[in-house]
Every structure is written in structure tokens, then in C-alpha cells.
Amino acid sequence: MIQFKNISKHYTLKGQTVHALKQINLEIPEGSIFGIIGYSGAGKSTLIRLINLLERPSEGQIIINQKDFTALDAKTLRQERANIGMIFQHFNLMQTKTVAENIEMPMRLLGYSKIERKKRLDELLSFIDLEHKRNAYPDELSGGQKQRVGIARALTNHPKILLCDEATSALDPQTTQSVLDLLKKINKEQNITIVMVTHEMDVIEKVCDHIAVMEAGHVIEQGSTVELFSHPKHPTTQTFIQTVLQQHLPTNILKQLENQHHHSIYRLQFLGKSAQEPVIQSMIKAFDVSLNILFASMTEINGTVIGQMFVQVLGEATTVKAAIQHLEEHGVSVASQAGEQK
Ligand SMILES: Nc1ncnc2c1ncn2[C@@H]1O[C@H](COP(=O)(O)OP(=O)(O)OP(=O)(O)O)[C@@H](O)[C@H]1O
């Protein structure tokens, strides 16, 4: 587990102080894929760089598996850092070195023997599926291949933690997906905790099991991905989630309904089991109401299906109320959107 305890970080530049992080308290569970999302300048990169103490906090402690990293002497910190790998948006490969030499570099610095280096290099090249590029230079690789080399280099010393700073932001969607698949595989097969900084909600949606949302140096909301996707509280979280899962009825549809305020519009949310049950059908059978589906979207997060449906429920007011109650009793979250309030 990685713990941030009352972490603050400020920079002083030309007499001006920037408070990059303010009183952060955060726990990153072991074995998780933890996403940190926020707009530019929120403090994400500063936060991730504190984990391996590339930056030192101005206040507070970083505790990793009960060890206070902020209190370690330089030599112990160097040893501990070898258990933390890091990958970057622009890959940070050495242009004058081949793929093999880039991957071998950390092993040279850590004093691996030639035989050990060769063995680990072969394992990693096979793992990232780039044996055929062993002697290629970074210039001869695609973006996705460069990031795979970055990942292999980060994994050389069998780290327990992998830090990813906007690791897929420079890649196209298809390549992003293949890098995310590789990260998922690393997490699952090697039980490596992955901490991922991104400004893209669809990256979080695809791989993360936990999220922290940052704004102006604060963590404004945190929780499991399913929790935050289904019940985002802070408006900024809602805005991020809106990019992948519709939170409000699209305005063009709302406009078309302008003259129909007498009909109730509801947002129905189906989570997990309720997404697989025919609750709508049972409601229509049991109550004298009809349903007009205005908009629907669905997503899957770590095996949990989240569905949203914007509907008009038409019928006599008390019947509509009873029908809505039926949905709620069957695990559907219902929120009135416009017109008559439930
Ligand atoms: N070395 C530094 N010196 C001075 N100010 C800094 C330094 N590093 C970061 N900051 C400031 O701290 C704040 C947080 O920056 P940070 O890079 O952590 O944000 P971010 O969320 O990662 O943004 P981005 O997505 O644009 O990288 C910003 O106001 C930034 O200007």
C-alpha cells in the first residue's frame, strides 16, 4: 500500500510560491491499478513524482508498505527506488542506444552480471513481443513500440510498483488500447501496483479499479471506479465522467421536448445485476404506463456493467410514481431530469 499522509508541495519561483499540492491524504491499495485524473495544472505529475521521491514533499509523509520513504537515507532510498518502475508520455529512450541497450541500462547501473542481463533482456523482449527489434534504434520504432520498450526498461528489476505519467497520451486509440492491455497483463500476472496519471477518462474506464480526481492541488474525490462512475459527487468528477458516460440528457433532445413538460423525464441507472434483469419489461407489465426511451448508453468497468437510460414515463401521475418505485425496488437508481418532479 502507498500512503500519502498530509502531503503538501510548494515551489518557489522568482519570489512567487506555487502550491502544487495541498494536504493530500490518499491510500493506493496494493495490487490495484489506480488512476489519478485532473485537468492540466491540477498537480497530478507532482503527485506521482513524489512516490519515488523524484520530488520531495514540502510537508507530510509518503509511506510505502509501512516504510516512511521521506525518512530514508540516500543509500536506502536508492535501493528502494529500484523497486519502483516509471514510464513517461514521451518514452524517454536514449536515441543513440538500441532497444536492447535501452532495456539493459538500468541493469548495468544496478550491477547485474552479463549473464543475468542477457537472461532478463530475453525474457522482457519476449514479454513485450519485440524480439525482432532487439537491435533497432528508437527512431525506427512506432510510438506503441517505443512505449513497450519503456515498459520493459521499467520492469527490469522486477518492481512492485509501476508509475505511468500520461503513458498513452501520445498514442493513437488503437495503440493506446494495446499498451493498456499490456499494463493490465503486468498488473494481473506480476501483481504489480500501477499508478497512472492521465487526463483521459476513457483510459481510466478501461483499466483502473480505483480513481482519485484532482483539482487545484487537492484530491476532490476518490473511490472505486464503479463507485465514482455510478455516483460522482463533485461537479468536476461529473464533467469527466460525462465524457464517457452521459450524465445529462443531450441538449438537442431536451430542446425537442420543450413543449412536453407535462411528461416526466427520468434518468435510470442500471448497475451490475440490475443491468441484466428485465426490470423495464416487468414495470410495463405491472403498471399502466408507457415508456419513451430518449437516450441510452452503456459501459463496462472491471466486469460491472453500468447502463444509463433517459426516459419519459407516460401515464397517470400516481401510476407513474408506483412504476418508478418498482424500478427502485429492483435496484435501478432513478433521478428526475425535467418536468414533473417525482
Ligand atoms: N518544478 C516546478 N517549479 C515550479 N512550479 C511547478 C513545478 N512543477 C510543477 N509546478 C506547478 O505546480 C502545479 C501543478 O503542476 P503539475 O505538473 O503537477 O500538474 P499536472 O496536473 O500534472 O498538469 P499537466 O497535466 O499539465 O502535466 C502547476 O501550477 C505547475 O505550474
42 CA distance to ligand 1 middle (Å): 7
Nearest Cα residue to atom 10 of ligand 1: 20
Rounded to an integer, what distance in angstroms lies between the CA atom of residue 18 and that of residue 201?
27
Residues in the ligand 1 pocket, defined by CB under 6 Å: 11, 13, 18, 20, 38, 40-46, 199
Radius of gyration of the chain (CA): 24
Q: Which residues of the chain have pLDDT under 50?
A: 262, 339-342
C-alpha of residue 20 to centroid of ligand 1, in Å: 6
E-state strands within the chain: 2-13, 16-28, 33-38, 59-64, 67-68, 84-88, 161-165, 193-198, 210-215, 218-224, 264-271, 290-301, 304-314, 333-338
Which protein residue has the closest C-alpha to ligand 1 atom 30? Answer: 41
| Ligand 1 probe mutation, 45, 56, 199, 236, most atoms within 8 A of CB | 45
- Within 10 angstroms of residue 74's Cβ, the number of other Cβ atoms is 6
Locate the ligand 1 atom nearest the alpha carbon of residue 13 and give its number: 4
d(CA 201, CA 301): 12
What are the grid coordinates assigned to 180, written together?
A: 493498456
Query: What is the whole-number distance in angstroms between the Cα of residue 305 and the centre of ligand 1?
Result: 35
Q: 237 C-alpha vs ligand 1 centroid, how far in Å?
A: 20
Q: Which three cell numbers mark 156?
A: 527490469
> Domains in the chain, ordered, with CATH?
2-242 (3.40.50.300), 251-338 (3.30.70.260)
Nearest CA to ligand 1 atom 6: 11
- Give the side-chain half-sphere CA count within 13 A for 232: 21
Among 11, 12, 21, 219, say which to mutate for ligand 1: greatest number of ligand atoms within 8 Å of CB: 11
pTM metric for this prediction: 0.86
Mutual angle of helices 114-127 and 99-109, in 10-degree steps: 130
b/e 104-117 (16+ beta carbons within 10 angstroms → b): bbbbeeeebeeeeb
Atom of ligand 1 minimally distant from the CA of 214 = 21
Candidates 18, 51, 58: which one to mutate for ligand 1, based on the most atoms within 8 Å of Cβ?
Answer: 18
